[in-house]
């Protein structure tokens, strides 16, 4: 447990858009100031998904940000939000039998767990990071068919 600070998590296949790091910190600081009593997470990439694992449909929060009910692996979060990370269970390998293109399940678990705990999720309307156009290590065939395109 930490007493403060934020954490930025970036996968190795993204790069920042111009001004991205500073804009991410500014947007997150404003969100955290408005929600001091809760865990807060800001997704730094916007893609085509309107909703995900929790079933919460994205809605406009302000001119720069959407309110969502999920997060993926490119984000800024406060310590309250991160408190769930020490409890991520191993994923059952059977999850890939029915659907070999499924992801690792980590961000799905964190999203569901933190959503149920009342933490709040946001996403930028304009991506602050760019997902590279490259071969996926985890799902090369799936990524060729369904590329992640940041908006």
**Interval 127-142 mean pLDDT:** 72
The set of residues, in sequence order, having a beta carbon less than 8 Å from that of 11 and lying 6+ positions away, is 73, 74
Query: pTM (2 decimals)?
Result: 0.83
DSSP 3: S
The CB-side HSE value for 34 (13 A sphere, CA atoms) comes to 13
Percent of all residues in the chain with a pLDDT value above 90, rounded to a whole number: 46
Q: Are 42 and 31 in contact (CB under 8 A)?
A: yes
CA distances from 32 to 6, 14, 93 (A): 10, 24, 36
H or E element at residue 68: strand 65-68
Q: For the segment 13-43, what is each residue's pLDDT rounded down to a tens digit?
A: 788 999 999 999 999 999 999 998 899 999 9
């Amino acid at each position: 447990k930490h007493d403060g600070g934020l954490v930025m998590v970036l996968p190795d296949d993204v790069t920042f858009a111009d001004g991205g790091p500073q804009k991410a910190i500014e947007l997150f600081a404003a969100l955290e100031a408005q929600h001091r009593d809760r865990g807060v997470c800001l997704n730094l990439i916007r893609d085509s998904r309107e909703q995900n694992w929790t079933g919460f449909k994205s809605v406009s929060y302000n001119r720069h940000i959407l309110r969502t009910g999920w997060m993926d692996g490119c984000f800024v979060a406060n310590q309250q939000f991160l408190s769930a990370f020490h409890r991520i269970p191993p994923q059952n390998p059977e999850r890939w039998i029915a659907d070999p293109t499924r992801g690792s399940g980590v961000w799905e678990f964190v999203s569901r767990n933190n959503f149920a705990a009342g933490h709040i999720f946001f996403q930028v309307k304009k991506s602050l990071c760019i997902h590279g156009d490259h071969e996926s290590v985890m799902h090369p065939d799936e990524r060729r068919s369904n590329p992640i395109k940041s908006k």
